[in-house]
Amino acid sequence: MNIMDHAVDLPVWAALLVSFFLVVGSGLTLIGTIGFSRLPSFYERIHAPTLGTSWGTGGIVMASMIFFTVLATRPVIHEILIGIFVTVTTPVTLMLLARAALHRDRAEGNPDVLAEVSPDEPKRGPALGE
């Protein structure tokens, strides 16, 4: 792979570190997506992609930061912004989506779903099935 010519000057330790993070990041992401495609219910599937958005992203961000910092011999930290934004924005998506699913399940009277908790019945209520 001559495309990696620019990495000639990279010390081996850095290469190893970068590779580690890369493998961890991409591996976690893959696992997450596998989970996403294999888990049986939506509420379970919703957990899977967070592997990618948490340490999946984190790993690759780390790899990138280390790689460019070592290569450019100056701190390159802008990738961290990606990490921050992904972390902050993913919950928004997930919350909204999960809540939408919840609404639909309740509207359809799906018995597996927890109904909204009313003050008089503080814990687990029956499914909103009417």
Q: What is the DSSP letter of 10?
A: S
Nearer to Na ion, 69 or 90 (CB): 90
x/- letters, 31..60, toward Na ion (CB under 5 A): -------------------x----------
Q: Which of the listed partners (other proteins, Na ion, none) does 65 bind, with a CB threshold of 5 to 8 Å by partner kind?
A: none
CA 104 to CA 127: how far, in whole Å?
12
Examine residue 111 and tell whether it contacts other proteins (CB under 8 A).
no
Task: Give rounded-to-5 percent helix, strand, coil for the chain.
Answer: 70, 0, 30
Which residues in the 18-47 window bind other proteins by CB under 8 A? 18-20, 22-23, 25-39, 41-47
Tokens of 53: 């958005």
Shortest Å distance, C-beta 42 to Na ion: 14
Number of residues that bind other proteins (CB under 8 A): 97
Distance CA 95, CA 100 (A): 8
